[in-house]
Structure formats: C-alpha cells, structure tokens
Amino acid sequence: MPPPPTAALSSSSSLCLFPLSSYSSPKKTQLGFCPSFPFTRLTNFTPTRRLMTCSAVSIEKETLISHRPHTFLRETDGLDDGSVRSRFQRMIMEVQDSVCGALGAVDGAGKFKEDAWTRPGGGGGISRVLQDGDVFEKAGVNISVVYGVMPPEAYRAAKANVTDQKPGPVPFFAAGISSVLHPKNPFAPTLHFNYRYFETDAPKDAPGAPRQWWFGGGTDLTPSYIFEEDVKHFHSIQKQACDKFDPSFYPRFKKWCDDYFYIKHRDERRGLGGIFFDDLNDYDQEMLLSFATECANSVVPAYVPIVEKRKNTPFTESHKAWQQLRRGRYIEFNLVYDRGTTFGLKTGGRIESILVSLPLTARWEYDHKPEEGSEEWKLLDVCMNPKEWI
C-alpha cells in the first residue's frame, strides 16, 4: 500500500502518501509524502520524538501542529498563483475532504482523527484515520506536500529507470494523496488509491540540468470474495475516467496495475486491479493535472456504492478467517514490494502515515489451500490469472 522527498510513498494508500500505499509499474515507484518546512505562524505544537537517518543523511523530525493550515507551499511558490504545485495541493485537500465525508456517512459511527504536521525543511501533511468504526476497521486518507533533498539511493527508489542515476543529492518537491480503506465485513472490499505530483531540480553537482516532473497514481480494489457486478462497476468507473482523456489509458493502466500489484513469491496479484500509472510526463502537463483530478474524484462513485451494498451482508467466522488471510497477502506486498513504502522509509517519512495502510488484524496459516471450486478458490484463481472485467 503508494507516495517522495521526505515523503512517504503510498500506497499506498498520504501522509506519507502513500504507501498507503501506494503505486508503480514493476519498475517504478509509488510515492508517499511526509513534509518539512518552517511554518512559523503556527503555535501550540507538540514535537514528535523521532529523529531518523537515511543513509548518511539526517532527516528532520515532523512537528505536529494544532490546526490545519491553508497551505503547505512556501511563499516563494505563491499561495494562489495558478501553478501546478498550487492547484495540485488544492485538489488533494478537496479530495481528502470529500472522501472523508463520504466514508464518514457510510460508517455512521466512526470519526476521523486528524493530525496535521510540518517539517523544518519545507512542507507538511494532514493524516486522517477512522479506526474501529461500525463499517470500517481502519480507513486512512492522507495528504502531504513536501520539499527536500533526496540522497541518490532514494532518488533511484522513487524513479523507475535505474540507469538514471544522479551523482549527488537531488532537490525535490512532491505532493500527493494516499488512502487505504479496510472494511470489517469480509464481503466488502478493501480499496487503495494514491495520486501524486513530483518535481526534481538539478543537483548541485549538475548545474544547468532541466527540472523534471511527473504524475503518478491509481485506484485498485482488493476484495476477499468476488461479486462480479461489483468488480465490473468499479472497473467501469475507472474506464470512464480514463476515456475522457485517451481511450488507450484504461487498457494500458489496467495492465500496469495488474503487473505492479504482483506478489512474486506467491505468484499472485494482491487483488483484482484497477488502474495504475507512474512517471507520466509524455503528455501536456495541464491535461495530466486534469486527468489526475478526474481519477481522484472518481474514487467515491467507484467504491462507496459497493460498500453500501455489502456492509451488512451476514458472514460466518470462516468468511472472516479468509478475509484475514487475504489481508496477510496485502501486508506481504506492502512491506516486501511496494516502492512507495520503501521510498517513505528511505527518506525518513512519517512512520504512522506510511504504515497506516496496514489493517488492524491479519492472519497467516501454514500451507493454506482453499478447496477447489469454492468461493475462496475462485478469488485466488483470479488473483493468479487476471481477467478483463469490462
């Protein structure tokens, strides 16, 4: 589960954006963010106790702040200048509000806990987590806006092409939203989404090199049981968002998603896919900003109707045990393969935000094999052999 520069990639699934998870092709990375910058106008904060080290690079502590600021951008970027940085930040803040509002309405009882934080080097983030509600066991929706300097190994973790090795520390800016949603009912699927924007500047030992930028992200579904109508609904909403910009996007990004969320040591996918893209900069920047916005805004209509339909479905302890086993697979992917998580850890990202993608409970049984032909077997079969849903 996902997220850059002193950032946490996401996945999955904010936040250190993400790892919540986070996202990338088999050769790419998911970004998540955890910021840093001196917001001197804010008071009444409580510093965290963590001081992390990335390689030989010392990473600053986050500072919790008492309220959500209007912006995490530096004044030199302009607060409302119409730049991509400013508009992307505004978009992820609005999407965080809309997604949390929709999830809160679905749950009914659970309330989101909010932590806002900054970093001395620039930027900040807002982590929101609903835990142990009536519907959601854990739902995290995080945003981060980060300025910083990446050591070479963190740059290689965030950028897919391993031949693209910068000689020294790389200044960067990253902003993103990342979320992972774990319902209690085993018939209601887990969801992960992450959308991010990344810029790098020339390192000090490579003056004159051009600024680089790219977009990344995606939305994917991880059910424990297959309801074909639910999966088709989810994929149809992803396709609609893609088709507004380029009919080649959905088939391309659907395959990318299947390839990325692959648990190699199990020879199976984490779930039933969706869309995923990274290092996207070969289209007009304005078009890609609009595309990322459309995808982020499609999360609620793609997911909430499914949860509403399944949240009260009766289930047995056997159904719950299977859900716990599938969550084990989720954890294995996030901690072993997700580049967003790796990036967040290597850049000293906020640990609580990076690991918020993990469920409260999971299960590992020795040599568990579902009975052939069972509903559990059908789910596993599709995870091993991805199919076209629409």
Active site residues: 192
Beta bridge partners of 131: 138
Pairwise CA distance, residues 109 & 64, whole Å? 26
* Separation between Cα atoms, residue 342 and residue 158, nearest integer Å: 9
Pairwise CA distance, residues 320 & 301, whole Å: 26
Q: Could you tell me which of 155, 217, 140, 179 has the C-alpha nearest to residue 7?
A: 155
CA dihedral 159, 27, 361, 49 (to 10 degrees): -20
CB 223 within 8 A of CB 315: no
| Chain centroid, CA 25 distance in Å | 14
